[in-house]
A and B are shown apart, each in its own frame.
Chain A
Amino acid sequence: MSGDVCIVGVGIHPFGRTDGLSGLDQGVYAVRQALADAGIDWPQVQFAYGSSDAAGNPDTMVERLGLTGVQFINVRNGCAAGGSALFSAQMAIKSGEFEIGLAVGFDKHPRGAFNAMPAEYNLPDWYGEAGYMITTQFFAAKIMRYMHEHGISQTSLARVANKAFRNAVHAPHAWRREPVDMETILEAPLVSDPYTKYMFCSPAEGGVALILASEKKARELGKPLVRLKAATMRTRPPKSFEVFAPSIDIGGGTATATRIASADAFRMAGIGPEDIALAQLQDTECGAEIMHMAENGFCKDGDQEAWLEQGRTEIGGALPVNTDGGCLACGEPIGASGLRQVYENVVQLRGDGGGRQVPGNPKTAYSHVYGAPGVSAVTILER
């Protein structure tokens, strides 16, 4: 195939809680919206990759969309599921096998924290019995160490949450769209120190669909060319500190799956962090956004304190981060979450962001997810 893989259609079912609508319903809703956006009908879709962690098999949506006999492959890959579906879809086009296809993700999780079982992660039962199969524990311990080493304050954590809810006011697909002031965030009950309840995202529901096409096909459709310059998915390197870790190597904790997924994405795209106009970074809790700013190469460890104080990651700042409020404001339906970031980037690159539009006609956008047990997926879009 010559040229780039392009994203020619996007659709989203609002995130949050939608009683009476299954996860699959929300996925179908997103697909129909994406088809309409691309100006195509379902029979034109040549293949699909679908991700869902807890809401059933994505391929069963053919019953709703039409029994065209389309190739439809299901993807489960933890928090990188959406990114993995997107990666697979672009490879199908890059290989020359197909010209146009779908990456869709949806989910619907029970209320409360995620409930993982040790055996699913190749861990002994006692680890769960003792109360350690808790994602929030890991994220809290990781930021506690990071704050100690790099001088990040709890005020900076609160600034991230405050920004997320402010940005979400202008994102119709976001879940928590009321601004929350700094004092309320800081004074709220602690969930896992140093995080208060406003500093963690919640499992949620939602659906996202992206139509991908070869550059040739995209030109035929007459859509603005949003090019997928890189899509990577990586697992953890040695000496990393990841979710559900009974032990860490001495000197460990700085190498991460994110760092290698990011470095490889920049290499493939042939650009650097300084060339990115806006970024969606996994922010399942405030500290994740802060640490991921550095792990993805956008700043040095410790610089985040000044960056946040100066508003550099605000919509009008040097590098707007999580322009739709991210996971903190949208919640995290695992299968859909990574694709939401790409949806938001396409909206921004098309200039359709409304009240949350990044000014200056952005040309490049970055997305990043991270999850258990040390997986990460990155994309770079260019217009």
Chain B
Amino acid sequence: MRAIAEGLVTEDSPPHLIGGRERATGRVVFPCPGADTFEPVALSRTGTLWSYTIQRYRPKSPPYSGPEAFRPWPVGYVELAGEVIVEARLTDVAFEDIRIGMPLELTMIPLDPEAADPVMIPAFRPAGAAA
């Protein structure tokens, strides 16, 4: 698997997002900043939806590197209990079924589903939705 950036997810299977815990305060952020005042920490793979929207127009390139052919996609903020609220795509859910508070779990999806060797980005799907 080729993740969109190094240091974003662990190499376990299934992977975890890598957050940063501020050494002085214990506050957790995502992604992990390069500064040595933060230590990398594997974040929980499950959480609940905090908020979301549907991206209905193609973002400008650069910086967007998704496919030219655009289909709207949902993006959400997912609360990982006791850790941090992270931003990520939502997947495997119909737009009209998305609800704030719904339980979710981490997965990885291709940025361009048509690509032969796609770059993978973190996404959350309804918990227990897939085998």
B86→A141 contact, CB < 8 A: no
A112→B60 contact, CB < 8 A: yes
Could you list which residues of chain A lie within 8 angstroms of chain B, going by C-beta atoms?
Answer: 112-113, 115, 117-118, 124-126, 128-134, 137, 140-142, 144-145, 148, 189-194, 245-250, 252
Which residues from A are CB-within-8-Å of B73?
Answer: 131
Which residues from B are CB-within-8-Å of A129?
Answer: 4, 63-66, 111, 119
New contact pairs (11) apart from A128-B64, A193-B53, A250-B79, CB-CB < 8 Å: A117-B63, A130-B65, A130-B89, A132-B75, A132-B87, A134-B59, A148-B51, A194-B53, A247-B30, A247-B87, A250-B84
Question: When A124-B5, A125-B63 are in contact, do A245 and B51 touch as well, CB less than 8 Å?
Answer: no
A236 to chain B, nearest CB (A): 14
**Can you list 29 A-B contacts with CB-CB less than 8 angstroms, sorted by A residue number?**
A112-B60, A113-B59, A113-B60, A126-B4, A126-B8, A128-B62, A129-B63, A130-B4, A131-B55, A133-B64, A137-B53, A137-B75, A140-B53, A141-B76, A144-B52, A144-B53, A145-B50, A148-B51, A191-B56, A193-B53, A193-B95, A245-B87, A246-B30, A247-B87, A248-B77, A248-B85, A249-B85, A250-B81, A250-B84
A281–B64 alpha-carbon span in the complex (Å): 31
Closest 9 CB pairs of A and B: A128-B63, A140-B53, A145-B51, A126-B5, A247-B30, A248-B85, A129-B65, A115-B60, A131-B59
Could you list which residues of chain B lie within 8 angstroms of chain A, going by C-beta atoms?
Answer: 4-5, 8, 19, 27-31, 50-57, 59-60, 62-66, 73, 75-77, 79, 81-87, 89, 95, 100, 111, 119, 121
B62 to chain A, nearest CB (A): 7
Which residues from B are CB-within-8-Å of A189?
Answer: 56
A194–B89 alpha-carbon span in the complex (Å): 17
A249→B27 contact, CB < 8 A: yes
B54→A190 contact, CB < 8 A: yes
A247→B19 contact, CB < 8 A: yes
B76→A250 contact, CB < 8 A: no
> Within the complex, which residue of B19, B53, B79 is in contact with A141, where a contact is CB–CB below 8 Å?
B53
> Within the complex, which residue of B60, B65, B87 is in contact with A246, where a contact is CB–CB below 8 Å?
B87
Among B28, B79, B82, B84, the one with the most A-chain Cβ atoms within 10 Å of its Cβ is B84
Q: Which chain A residue shows the least CB distance to B99? A: A148
B27→A193 contact, CB < 8 A: no
Among A117, A137, A190, A247, the one with the most B-chain Cβ atoms within 10 Å of its Cβ is A247
A68–B46 alpha-carbon span in the complex (Å): 64
A249→B5 contact, CB < 8 A: no
Question: When A112-B60, A115-B60 are in contact, do A131 and B53 touch as well, CB less than 8 Å?
Answer: no
A132–B88 alpha-carbon span in the complex (Å): 9
A250–B81 alpha-carbon span in the complex (Å): 8
A129–B5 alpha-carbon span in the complex (Å): 10
A274 to chain B, nearest CB (A): 31
B74 to chain A, nearest CB (A): 8
A247→B86 contact, CB < 8 A: yes
Question: When A145-B100, A248-B85 are in contact, do A124 and B31 touch as well, CB less than 8 Å?
Answer: yes
Which residues from A are CB-within-8-Å of B77?
Answer: 141, 145, 248
B29 to chain A, nearest CB (A): 5
Q: Which chain B residue shows the least CB distance to A245? A: B87
A363 to chain B, nearest CB (A): 39
Which residues from A are CB-within-8-Å of B30?
Answer: 246-247
A131→B52 contact, CB < 8 A: no
A252 to chain B, nearest CB (A): 7
B84→A190 contact, CB < 8 A: no
Question: When A137-B75, A247-B86, A248-B84 are in contact, do A130 and B121 touch as well, CB less than 8 Å?
Answer: yes
Among A140, A144, A145, the one with the most B-chain Cβ atoms within 10 Å of its Cβ is A144
Q: Which chain A residue shows the least CB distance to B58? A: A131
B60→A141 contact, CB < 8 A: no
Which residues from B are CB-within-8-Å of A248?
Answer: 50, 77, 84-85
Which residues from A are CB-within-8-Å of B50?
Answer: 145, 248
> Within the complex, which residue of B5, B55, B100 is in contact with A134, where a contact is CB–CB below 8 Å?
B55
Question: When A129-B4, A129-B111 are in contact, do A250 and B82 touch as well, CB less than 8 Å?
Answer: yes
B100→A252 contact, CB < 8 A: no
Question: When A126-B5, A247-B30 are in contact, do A118 and B63 touch as well, CB less than 8 Å?
Answer: yes
A104–B81 alpha-carbon span in the complex (Å): 47
